[in-house]
Structure 1
Amino acid sequence: MTAGDHQPRFTPSQECRPPQQPDALTDSQTATLDALRSHIHETVVKTETHRRWADDRCLIRYLRSKKWNLQETKQAVQESMLWRDSYGPNRPDKDALWIETAVGKLYVSGFDMESRPLLYMKPRLENTAASPSQIRHVVYHLEVALALMPEGVENLCIIIDFAGSSMTKNPGVAVAREIINVLGSHYPERLGKAYIIHAPWFFFPFFKLISPFIDPVTKAKINFVDMKKQKPKTKSVISAPSSAAASEIELPNGVSSSAASTASSKKSSANKDNNKDGTSTDQVNLLDVIPEDMLEREFGGSSDYVYNQQVYWDAADRVLAASRARLENGASTSATTAVIQEAA
């Protein structure tokens, strides 16, 4: 990528790994999933778009978020289906969102090591007052991130940079609560990791106010990053297996990597302690979790991406259109991938 490139990074780099395979469902969980699928597809679904959206991966995410409570999950899936029909999250209104997208306070560009799309948030660039448009703006970028996920990837990674922010630029508690509600209700199990950088003193009382509304599982995925302690990428402790022994998974953009390389992340995710507020105590070195060419220079990477409103909107619009075609018309994943590669 050339210096000052305005084209967002919409395809993973060679260093991105295939997604870690989820644990197999238990017999009880399989039975619960079967019951949920039957109920949703036979009594709730009205269109083929609904049916494609409510696939098994979607239903499992909702079940996990509801601790496998069948009745609560039935209600949650139905409410999300109605919300998507009325809210139209994957059909952004350009006129309504144009001022929100003007300065690049949110955007998707790049992927972490687990091939999860990176959603950057920069509160210092806040340019509007609290309003429903701010919620729609967040939803817009969430939909872009979902549309960019390679096959098998179900989460995104959020980087929140508070450098240069102030109390007046920080979103209010009411807006934050509504965003948390939308995320928890309609995008369950979609957060992979969140990295908070340059957290100012006023962030912590604010976080304490909104913390009760954040699910404990989600809270444990939040990491505070100390930029003063960042260092070059550490050497992996697991060597790559031979091509004959490797079990490989193909990413949509043609990038492949051994599934065995996910073992280190699986091991490191176990037995973690948390802070009193429920956030992770892990000391994160960003270059160990995000490829250098995917991470912006101000955070230690080598990406020279510079947000440009029109370029970003056009690229994201093509990606969302391809995603809608897959849902509404059953377009193939390969066709969607081709659009993403063209947009990138």
Structure 2
Amino acid sequence: MKRRTLISAIGVVALSSAYFFPMTSYAAALKGEGGRPVRIVVPYPPGGPLDVSARAIADAVKDKLGTVVVENRPGAGGNVGVAYVSKADPDGYTLVMGAVATHAINPWLFKKLPYDAEKDFKPVTLVATAPNVLVITPAFSERTGIKSLKDLIAYAKAHPGELNYASGGNGSAGHMAGELLKNKAGIDMVHIPFAGASPALLSVLSGQTDLIFDNLASSAANIKAGKLIALAVTTKERTALLPDAPTMTEAGVPDFDIYTWFGLMVPAKTPDDIVKQLSDAIVPALSDPEMTKRFAAFGAEAAPTSPEDFGKLIAEEKAKYKTLVALSGARVD
């Protein structure tokens, strides 16, 4: 072989090896032969539903994916962690737990995002959904006589601008739900945003604010303990996690469907066969009855899907929240 031909051949082999290394290395990791862990980036602080879910998944798929670690990268309403993963190597080793906020609300809330919610990612699977629930305290109910959503609407109409509702911040799902209720019911309430869902809920429990559309995952324990009264859930259908609570439509406000969802995604250039390997490992784990019990314990329902179905959900939700964010008038920057 001539020297020039030999050098060209070596170059092609080297380039091919570099191109295929991530896939080969990943396949080895799936067999337990690789030492590199798979990372699930959670763009929120530890302890929340996304973090707890990620850790449950990491434990459940270790036999198929090897070591899986959870890495919290909070900041800017989830944008910091999501942007980080959008720029990660597309080799299947880095996933992000995206959510309704990061992929359906933030694109309309922020003038400029450090990522494109659709173009920069490939869906792997929806992980879970959690209804939002409209709650008040027994003390507030006793003081105002409000025992149902119809009572709340009647009270608000009789006392325009006197009621307030807390939320985890401008543009949060709770904020969107409050503005949608105001619009559909023709009532006036004051929005009180907090720096996160936890302080917002605490403000209601302490009597600082009147009511909140909270994630069922965070309010379920207080409802069971009698510290909160659930007036309605915000989904189209009742949830088995809170079967006695009517939907907003049943309670008198039609076409109301807002809920929390979150799922796993990878950088957009990740090869489809690696996405399939991840989906094939994670979806069965989410379908396991024990996983269903773990999710139900914190007010969420496991909801595994195909990558294609998760992609459709993201697109539909993004379109829905374009209207809701405009209706709320919320902007972060």
TM-score (norm 2): 0.24
Structure label with greater radius of gyration? 2
- Structure showing the higher strand proportion among its residues: 2
TM-score (norm 1): 0.23
